[in-house]
Amino acid sequence: MARRCPRCQAEYADHADVCWSCRIRLVPAPESEEPDRELVWVELRPVYRAPDEFSALAVERVLAAEDIRSFVRSGQIPWADGLMSNLTGYWGQVLVAPEDYEQAIALVTEYLASLERKDEPGDVTLPPETEA
């Protein structure tokens, strides 16, 4: 049975008696009440090919706002700056779980369309002035 520091909650092997940081006597660690979780492999699906890191992170935030977990995967090689985007045409990808794919595609499509519109947020057409 492992041992634990009652102050900092650091875990130690069975043979330890005193916490190295706090210098207080260890107590037996409680048995884990959390059941063992099975590791499940999920093949993530790409929803966006980003031309740069900023674009990938912006799409990631759009998805996060709708509670869709995503993963940004860069295709860049650190020592070959920009080589991958020259070879593949994109910086990296934003990936999501299969069950979120359809909703994520719709959100990304809507987001990209909003960037292409001519009416920028904040552009307001003011009514003509009236004479007083």
Instruction: Give the model's pLDDT for residue 84.
Output: 59
- Please state the pTM of the whole predicted model: 0.58
Q: How confident is the model at residue 131 (pLDDT cuts 50, 70, 90)?
A: low
Mean pLDDT value across the chain = 82
Instruction: Give the model's pLDDT for residue 127.
Output: 56
Residue-range domains of the chain with CATH: 1-29 (no CATH), 45-116 (3.30.70.1530)
Q: How confident is the model at residue 95 (pLDDT cuts 50, 70, 90)?
A: very high
Q: Nearest 10 degrees: CA dihedral of 112, 115, 119, 120?
A: 140
Instruction: Tell me the residue length of the chain.
Output: 132
Q: What is the layout of strands, in order, in the sheet containing 70-74?
A: 45-50, 92-96, 70-74
Tens-place pLDDT, residues 39-87:
788 899 999 999 989 999 999 999 999 999 999 998 877 666 656 556 7
What distance in Å separates the CA atoms of residue 39 and residue 66, rounded to the nearest whole number?
A: 26
- Alpha carbon 132 to chain centroid distance? 56
